[in-house]
Structure 1
């Protein structure tokens, strides 16, 4: 007979914080974010690290799940200020209609200085795109269908705050 040990999901993921830089883990715990969120690793890499704000200090993005509502999202903690920002996990993305990133199949650092925001008409059909300048490295989250990126969002610092734009279908 095989013995199976059932351990709560959030407990398992909270033990995995040792792979993150110490300053991030310290900030996550000091802000008591660990009481509401569990860090998850549904896609690789486990976290993204870059200077998202242009202050020459690396910031970190991780994927989280709200322990109560089970909605997923992206948490960014700025390295220089230790301020945190949540996208999803029950909070709506700025200029988007979703509050859960359970659809994310991949993510990466977006290093291009230009992106294209998908525009929609009143019926929700794609009506075109708008060129957007990106000053710093951004976080790209996306769904994959048939091996290709289908649609997603780009999270970037616009000089005063993080914003997101829809990309793809």
Structure 2
């Protein structure tokens, strides 16, 4: 059975490892070896994931270059197309990706907010719309040449245990 394009894209983004690869290649092109070294995984395993992301359009291969020892290297850059891709049941995947990405960071490098609010549907919708508006404003901005790579995760959920 042939997998649909949308199903292949959803499957490609259903892996915390692949989401981490996309984040690593967001601001700087990286070769398969560089990605594998940063993730601490086998280059062949990494290449499988890189090829999946290239095949679904989430990573693009840039022109090959010569490495330090003259070997051909292909750098990859994230296309940012993953941001608009819908993925079914993505919340656990995003949470696991966040946990993996922050596991080795010192606590002072992670800023987390958690609060409980009691909002009616109108106010909840307004809050979510305003958060999306602010985030989209920054997404649309060009990268700061002197900027530092940073990551943001916002999660919202209803809490039936707080009633």
**TM-score interval w.r.t. the shorter chain?**
under 0.3
Greater helix content: 2
Greater strand content: 1
Between Structure 1 and Structure 2, whose CA radius of gyration is higher?
Answer: 2
Question: Which TM-score applies when normalising by structure 2?
Answer: 0.26
